[in-house]
Structure 1
Amino acid sequence: MGFLNDRKAEAKEAIDEGDSKQGAEILYHALLEGPGTFSENLKAITDDPNS
């Protein structure tokens, strides 16, 4: 799931730079716009062993 991994990386970068609100917005929209349902996208983002 390249889309979700890319958004996850963007969110992590935003959070690392001190912009947690932007990081949260990136993740939220990724969960809505990703390839699966909201629940499937959440599972895919949180179950990644390379986190």
Structure 2
Amino acid sequence: MDNQMHYKNLDRKHVILINWSTLNAAGMHFHLKLLMAIPFYFTHILHFASW
């Protein structure tokens, strides 16, 4: 009984950890896309500003 409770608690922590790492990965992907898009937009703005 005591052991089973411990495993349930451990499992819950594990699920939270997995969700957190997935969110982190999604956030990193979004930030990378943003960082890659910034120079693209910046050159466009400069191009229009020079006209």
TM-score, normalising length: structure 1: 0.35
| Structure in which a larger fraction of residues adopt helix | 2
TM-score, normalising length: structure 2: 0.35
